[in-house]
Amino acid sequence: MSLWFDGGPGGRSVLCWGAQEVIRPQPGWLTTARAALSGEPPPAGLSFVGGLAGFVGYEAGRFTEVQPAPRPDPRGDWPEGDGALGRFEGAVTIEPDGRVIAAGSAAFVAEAAGVLKLAQAHEAPPPPGRATLIHEGDAEQYRDGVRAVLEQIAEGALYQVNLARRLTFGGVGSALQAYRRARALNPAPFGGWARLGALELCSLSPELFLRLQGGVVESRPIKGTRPLGATDSETAALMAELEVDPKERAELTMIVDLVRNDLGRVCAPGSVRAGPRQISALPTLSHAAQSVFGQLKPGGDALDLLAASFPPGSVTGAPKVAAMATIFALEEQPRGAYCGAWGFINDAGDAALAVSIRVAQVYEDQARVHVGCGLVADSNPDRELEETTLKAQAWRRALTGAG
The set of catalytic residues is 207, 223
Max Cα–Cα distance, the chain, nearest Å? 62
DSSP E strand boundaries for 24-82: 51-56
Q: What does the alpha-carbon distance between residue 239 and residue 245 come to, in Å, rounded to a whole number? A: 10
Q: What does the alpha-carbon distance between residue 237 and residue 126 come to, in Å, rounded to a whole number? A: 35
Contact in structure between 203 and 340 (CB atoms under 8 Å): no
The helix/strand/coil state of 318 is strand
Cα-Cα-Cα-Cα dihedral of 121, 101, 359, 125, to 10°?
-20
Q: What does the alpha-carbon distance between residue 136 and residue 376 come to, in Å, rounded to a whole number? A: 24
Partners of 274 in the β-ladder: 292
Q: Ramachandran region of residue 29, left (φ > 0), alpha (ψ -120 to 50) or beta?
A: alpha
**Is residue 181 within a helix (H) or strand (E), and if so which, with residue range?**
helix 175-185
Partners of 245 in the β-ladder: none
Cis peptide before 283 (omega within 30 of 0): no
Q: What is the 3-state secondary structure (H, E, C) of 82-103?
A: CEEEEEECEEEEECCCCCEEEE
Contact in structure between 208 and 218 (CB atoms under 8 Å): yes
Report the first-to-last Cα separation within the chain, whole angstroms: 32
